[in-house]
Amino acid sequence: MSLQRFIQSAMSEWMRGGGPQSDIVISSRVRIARNLAGLPFPMLATASQSEEVVRRVEEAFQEEKEQPYFRDAELIRMDTLNDLQKRVLVEKHLISPHLAEESRHGAVILSGNEAVSIMVNEEDHLRIQCLFPGFQLKQAWKLADHIDDTLERHLSYAFDEQCGFLTSCPTNVGTAIRASVMLHLPALAITQQLNRLFPAITQVGLAVRGIYGEGSEALGNLYQVSNQVTLGQEEEEIIDNLVSVVGQIIDQEQSARRRLLESSPIQLEDRVHRSYGILAHARVMDSKEAMQRLSDVRLGIDLGLIKGVSATVLNELMVMTQPGFLQQYAGQRLDPGERDIRRAVLIRERLAFEHDDEN
């Protein structure tokens, strides 16, 4: 596979648009959990019951194929994919690690631009996910809500008048909505303000997680901020609260960037160019260092300190340098040491490709 074709497959179409405040907000996501009435949750379902869920969801999907978000979508069964293909979908944030690793009869409906992903038989029967570039949380919620209503025309959801929508995990009961924003916060990290900021965020009912959500590590100064409370609040209230808090985080990151430029411009310029030089010439690169160097370069691009490199390079490389994609590009399975070598090669090629494209 050529590098250009590989870049095309690595980048979901939704990632190519910058979106509002994309210098700090990488993406906005809304995920809605739903279960079908009269059938056990996936963890307790038999094989035939799980297949019944897939059948009903597929029928509902086919009935609504004329909807813009379903017109070019397809249903993919997990048992038709190998482990590497599943891992690639996880790295693109299109399915969860749980669906890839543990679902016995799972499936996913993916729209053509990969902005819509509907997981079937994950922890719940349905996980409706909408991804938008930049700070577009309200737009993501509007689309997810519309898709939810569309499917409900054909599916009967498990619902209780007092508790709301019923889910396998009690923390999702109620609205069953999880809204999150992926933020790039290098200046707050450099100025060591994150340890003060994150406890304040949790006190207002939000959670801060790593790049792949709960239990994952924060790499490259990328953090997911999401709601924790789903019961006792209206959906719009949850969205508005998250929008308000994220807006304040954006303001603080912008302020920290201005202070860095004013107080230590040479040191900052040295940091971002040093990272760019290492990425452009290194022969071995582990994933943690790669993400940190890419974070520095992205900061340099956003502040105008690095010219001739597109800001989407971070979006691309944070996917392309993950283990699944590296092995897909190599066309073979690689051990960790081999991946570190391939990662360095891929980054060098990508930056050289960017440079050639500019010229």
User: Tens digits of per-residue pLDDT, 188-214?
Assistant: 999 999 989 999 999 888 999 876 555
The token pair that represents 75 in the structure block: 């249903």
Burial string for 11-38 (b: 16+ CB within 10 Å, else e) reads: bbebbeeebebbbbbbbbbbbbbbbbee
Superfamily of domain 3-256: Glutamine synthetase/guanido kinase, catalytic domain (3.30.590.10)
Q: Say which residue the tokens 């207002």 belong to.
A: 204
How high is the pLDDT of residue 309? 86
Query: Once rounded to an integer, what is the mean pLDDT over residues 305-312?
Result: 87
Query: Once rounded to an integer, what is the mean pLDDT over residues 53-57?
Result: 97
52 labelled ligand-binding = no
User: Tens digits of per-residue pLDDT, 252-261?
Assistant: 999 999 999 9
How high is the pLDDT of residue 108? 96
Positive or negative torsion for Cα 96, 98, 99, 100: positive
**What is d(CA 119, CA 99) in angstroms, rounded to the nearest whole number?**
8
Residue of 227 and 2 predicted with greater confidence? 227
88 labelled ligand-binding = no
93 labelled ligand-binding = yes
211 labelled ligand-binding = yes
339 labelled ligand-binding = no
How high is the pLDDT of residue 252? 97
173 labelled ligand-binding = no
pLDDT of residue 78 exceeding 70: yes
Closest CA to 229 of 198, 203, 191, 195: 203
How high is the pLDDT of residue 1? 45
How high is the pLDDT of residue 352? 85
287 labelled ligand-binding = no
How high is the pLDDT of residue 216? 54
Task: Supply φ then ψ for residue 190, to 5 degrees.
Answer: -60, -40
Query: Once rounded to an integer, what is the mean pLDDT over residues 291-297?
Result: 95
179 labelled ligand-binding = yes
pLDDT of residue 265 exceeding 60: yes
8 Å CB contact between 115 and 12: yes
> pLDDT-derived band of residue 314, with 50, 70 and 90 as boundaries?
confident
Q: What is the average pLDDT value for the chain, to the nearest integer? A: 90
329 labelled ligand-binding = no
How high is the pLDDT of residue 273? 97
212 labelled ligand-binding = yes
How high is the pLDDT of residue 77? 95
181 labelled ligand-binding = yes
User: Tens digits of per-residue pLDDT, 108-164?
Assistant: 999 988 999 999 999 999 999 999 999 999 999 999 999 999 999 999 999 998 889
210 labelled ligand-binding = yes
213 labelled ligand-binding = yes
